[in-house]
Structure 1
Amino acid sequence: MFDKLKTRWNLKSTYQVVIVLVVFACTGFTILFIKKPIVAWIAGSEESSLLYSILYYMFILPVYNIILLAYGFVFGQFTFFWEFEKKMWSRITGKKYNNDAD
């Protein structure tokens, strides 16, 4: 499993794969704890409302990406996560990703 991820993500070692997985886990847990207060503060406390759902995706997605980069920096994997972010945003926006490193 780690070898597949190492190849897919173009990482140099299994240790780096573990660090990347830890960063994703830390980011997910952080969002889990902060999403409800942030969106409830903006939309009110009714979680089933359409406004809540729209605001969730509008605010939490960018916050997730910022936190992902922050944890990537803390764990020494900022370059990997910066490239990961650029690829993800190119998929969301439909614009072609241009990797200058190639």
Structure 2
Amino acid sequence: MFTKLKKRWKITSNIQLLLILTAFSLTGSLSVMIRKPVFEYLSIGPDTNLLIKILMSILIITPTYQILLVLVGSVLGQFRFFWNFEKKMLSRFSSKKKTKSIPKEA
């Protein structure tokens, strides 16, 4: 399993793999931890509609995760990997499917 990840991510070192996996886990935990104070600031509590909570969680956690991933990755010495990872992820969000243009007959 780890050899597949190393090949996919184009890394060779087990230590680098460990640092990358650590960055992913720390970033996930930190981004969820940040949600609580933001919810308190926005006065979102137990009585708030569940749909609003879910929507706000997505809007808060997603960009927070992206930013923290690069920051935590940088602290662990893996900036280049996570910068490329973010660029690839953002390109997936922004890319639109190209349709083939049909040549017009004269």
Partner of 1:100: none
TM-score normalised according to structure 1 size? 0.80
The answer to whether the aligner puts 1:66 opposite 2:67 as a matched pair is yes
Partner of 2:31: 31
Q: Within 5 Å, which residues of 2 pair with 1:62-101?
A: 62-94=63-95
Task: Name the CA distance, whole Å, in 2 between partners of 1:95 and 1:9.
Answer: 24
Task: Name the CA distance, whole Å, in 1 between partners of 2:5 and 2:23.
Answer: 14
The 8 Å contact of residues 40 and 52 in structure 1, kept in 2 or not, is answered as no
Go from structure 1 to structure 2 and tell me whether the alpha carbon gap of 1:89 and 1:65 turns closer, same or farther (over 3 Å shift): same
The 8 Å contact of residues 68 and 81 in structure 1, kept in 2 or not, is answered as yes
In structure 2, the gaps of 5 or more residues are: 98-106
Letter in 2 for 1:56: S
Q: List per-residue Cα deviations over 1:47-74 (Å, max 9, x = no partner).
A: 6522222222122111111111110110
The 8 Å contact of residues 27 and 68 in structure 2, kept in 1 or not, is answered as yes
The 8 Å contact of residues 20 and 77 in structure 1, kept in 2 or not, is answered as yes
The 8 Å contact of residues 72 and 81 in structure 1, kept in 2 or not, is answered as yes
Go from structure 1 to structure 2 and tell me whether the alpha carbon gap of 1:34 and 1:14 turns closer, same or farther (over 3 Å shift): same
| Structure whose CA Rg is larger | 2
Task: Name the Cα RMSD after superposition.
Answer: 1.9
Identity fraction in percent: 41
Deviation at 1:40, TM superposition (A): 4.2
Greater relative contact order (Cα < 8 A, sep 6+)? 2
Task: Name the CA distance, whole Å, in 1 between partners of 2:26 and 2:92.
Answer: 24
In structure 1, the gaps of 5 or more residues are: 97-102
TM-score normalised according to structure 2 size? 0.78
Go from structure 1 to structure 2 and tell me whether the alpha carbon gap of 1:78 and 1:11 turns closer, same or farther (over 3 Å shift): same
